[in-house]
Each structure stands twice: as structure tokens, then as C-alpha cells.
């Protein structure tokens, strides 16, 4: 009787263990192709040739390790392109983040004429794909470029112009996200501060913003990654490498490279990926605490 009960409990425990293991096994199997791809990129950047995941020399034997694929780091132009990429990413974080925080608070807390229409229009604008607006954006940037002083900063074929376009395209999503975070903040402390004579701006800056920092941090992370990996807008509205960014340079580099030099393309791709990985490592805590910024109950 005891042996039968032991076998039953053992069988039940084995089934529970298998039931809990199956999701992890499926998840591991699903990400194996992705892990294999990253492994190939890392191996290829430090080898002259590869057969699958195995680095080989000119004779086809295991080996052929080299640093020649990273010689592009000695070119000063790569650092100018990297700076352009960084300016685009940071410009999106500052521009979209600040405007979305102000507009999201106004839409969440203030009842003004045209509020519902503005919210609907914002959602509609986010539905437009950038490809549909390329020609109209081109003429707008040309018109801005004809203006003195301003045209040199945010006109056609400038980093500022790319940042301006990308901020405009990402604002609808940023405003909606920040409005959602402000809606989760209770009115209690805000009303107390307003009764005590604090201005709306002071309430927004000193009371509300600290409570939505996780949401603002999460939005900043997505904006930085989006700005760093931007391709279509910089590719369309810039000419040459003087104002291009890393994705555009990678596309040009891969197009001008023979089939025997894909390891150099992998090295440039890994170089463009490293800052994003570092940024995500240091900001993932804020991203994981996205729901810690307020309590439900706002209106």
C-alpha cells in the first residue's frame, strides 16, 4: 500500500515537473535560431571566413581569426556617423519625451474645447505610415531649408531636419502613452497642492512627474532605440555620409561589399548594436518597473 502510494506521488510529481518544463523547453527551442544568428555575427567579426558557425582560414581549416574586420574604427568618418546617430536618438528622447509629458498631462487633467477631437486626431495621425508622407515631408524640409539660420539647422540634408521629422512622427504615440500614465495618478495630492496655491506647472513638475518617472523612462528607452535604429527617414532626407547615421551607412556598406566581405558587414552591424545593448542593460530596471509610477484612480 505504501509502495503504491509512493509510486502514485512520484508519477504525479513527474507530471507536474514535465508540465512546468514544457513552456521553458518550447521557449528555448523558439529562441535557438536567434541565438545562433547572434553567435554567427560575433564569430564572423573576428574571423576571415566562416562555414556555418565555424571560423575557417583560406585553406578551409579551423582558425582564420583576425581583427581586420574592425579596421573601419580607424576611419574618422565612422565616429562622425556614430555622433549623428547619437544626436538623432537623444534628440528624439528629449523632444518627444518633453512634449509628450506636457501634452499628456494637459489631456489627462484639463477639460478644454476640442480635447476629444485632438485625441482622436492624434490617434489617426499615428495610423499614417511614414512612407505615405515622404514626398510632403520633403517639400516641407525644402521650405524650411530656404529660411535663414533655421534652414541650416533643421532643413533638408541636416541632422536637425531628421530629428524634427522623427519627433513629429513619434509624438502621437508618445502623447497617448503619457496620457495613460497620467490617468493612473490619483488627484488627491494634486488637489491639495492647488488648494495651497501652487501653480499648474509646479504641480506638474514637483508632484506629478516624479510619480510617472517609470513610464517616462520606458518611453525614453523605446525612443532611444527607435532613433538609434532609424533608417527610412535618414536614408530619404540625407545625402552622403556627412549627415547619415549608422543604419544608412550599414546599408551602403553592405551594398558596396562583395560576397567575400560579409564579415566586415557583420563587424559594422555588431558595432552599431553595442551601444543599444549597453543602454538597455543600464535602463532595464526602469523598464521593468513601468507600473510602479502611480496608483489607479485618476480621471
Give the model's confidence band at 90: pLDDT under 50 very low, under 70 low, under 90 confident, else very high. Answer: very high
- DSSP 8-state secondary structure symbol assigned to residue 239: -
Please enumerate in sequence order all residues whose Cβ is within 8 A of that of 95, keeping only pairs 6 or more positions apart, or say none: 163, 167
Q: What is the pLDDT of residues 162-185, one digit of tens each?
A: 999 999 999 988 998 899 889 888
- C-beta separation of 178 from 293 below 8 A: no
pLDDT at 294: 43
- Host H or E run for residue 48: none
Higher pLDDT: 294 or 174? It is 174
pLDDT at 296: 41
As a whole-number percent, the residues of the chain with pLDDT over 90 amount to 19
- C-beta separation of 234 from 247 below 8 A: yes
Higher pLDDT: 167 or 5? It is 167
Give the model's confidence band at 9: pLDDT under 50 very low, under 70 low, under 90 confident, else very high. Answer: low
Give the model's confidence band at 299: pLDDT under 50 very low, under 70 low, under 90 confident, else very high. Answer: very low
Cα dihedral sign for 156, 252, 32, 68? negative
For residue 114, what is its C-alpha cell? Answer: 476640442
Give the model's confidence band at 91: pLDDT under 50 very low, under 70 low, under 90 confident, else very high. Answer: very high
Q: What is the mean pLDDT of residues 96-121?
A: 87
Higher pLDDT: 242 or 159? It is 159
Class of residue 52 by CB neighbours under 10 A (exposed 0-12, middle 13-18, buried 19+): exposed
Q: What is the pLDDT of residues 109-133, one digit of tens each?
A: 888 888 888 888 877 877 777 888 8
Mean model confidence pLDDT for the chain = 82
pLDDT reading at 274 higher than 50: yes
Most confidently modeled range among 10-19, 20-29, 94-103, 194-203? 94-103
Higher pLDDT: 259 or 155? It is 155
Give the model's confidence band at 295: pLDDT under 50 very low, under 70 low, under 90 confident, else very high. Answer: very low
Give the model's confidence band at 10: pLDDT under 50 very low, under 70 low, under 90 confident, else very high. Answer: low
Cα dihedral sign for 122, 124, 127, 128? negative
Q: What is the pLDDT of residues 25-41, one digit of tens each?
A: 888 888 888 888 888 88
CA 112 to chain centre: 33
Phi-psi region of 240 (alpha: psi -120 to 50; beta: other; left: phi over 0): left
pLDDT reading at 96 higher than 90: yes
Amino acid at each position: 500500500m505504501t509502495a503504491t502510494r509512493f509510486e502514485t506521488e512520484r508519477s504525479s510529481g513527474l507530471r507536474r515537473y514535465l508540465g512546468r518544463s514544457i513552456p521553458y523547453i518550447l521557449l528555448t527551442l523558439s529562441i535557438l535560431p536567434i541565438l545562433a544568428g547572434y553567435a554567427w555575427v560575433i564569430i564572423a567579426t573576428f574571423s576571415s571566413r566562416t562555414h556555418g558557425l565555424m571560423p575557417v582560414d583560406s585553406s578551409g581549416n579551423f582558425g582564420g581569426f583576425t581583427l581586420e574586420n574592425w579596421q573601419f574604427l580607424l576611419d574618422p568618418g565612422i565616429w562622425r556617423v556614430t555622433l549623428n546617430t547619437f544626436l538623432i536618438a537623444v534628440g528624439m528622447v528629449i523632444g518627444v519625451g518633453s512634449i509628450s509629458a506636457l501634452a499628456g498631462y494637459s489631456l489627462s487633467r484639463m477639460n478644454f474645447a476640442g480635447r476629444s477631437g485632438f485625441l482622436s486626431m492624434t490617434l489617426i495621425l499615428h495610423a499614417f505610415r511614414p512612407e505615405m508622407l515622404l514626398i510632403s515631408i520633403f517639400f516641407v524640409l525644402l521650405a524650411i531649408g530656404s529660411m535663414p539660420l533655421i534652414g541650416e539647422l533643421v532643413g533638408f540634408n541636416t541632422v536637425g531636419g531628421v530629428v524634427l521629422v522623427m519627433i513629429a512622427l513619434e509624438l502621437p504615440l508618445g502623447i497617448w502613452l503619457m496620457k495613460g500614465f497620467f490617468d493612473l495618478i490619483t488627484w488627491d495630492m494634486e488637489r491639495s497642492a492647488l488648494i495651497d496655491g501652487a501653480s499648474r506647472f509646479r504641480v506638474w513638475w514637483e508632484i506629478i512627474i516624479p510619480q510617472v518617472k517609470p513610464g517616462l523612462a520606458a518611453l525614453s528607452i523605446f525612443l532611444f532605440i527607435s532613433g538609434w535604429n532609424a533608417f527610412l527617414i535618414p536614408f530619404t532626407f540625407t545625402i552622403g555620409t556627412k549627415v547619415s547615421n549608422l543604419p544608412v551607412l550599414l546599408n551602403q556598406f553592405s551594398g558596396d561589399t562583395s560576397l567575400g566581405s560579409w564579415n566586415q558587414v557583420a563587424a559594422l552591424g555588431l558595432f552599431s548594436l553595442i551601444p543599444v545593448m549597453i543602454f538597455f542593460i543600464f535602463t532595464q530596471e526602469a523598464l521593468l518597473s513601468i507600473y510602479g509610477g502611480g496608483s489607479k484612480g485618476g480621471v
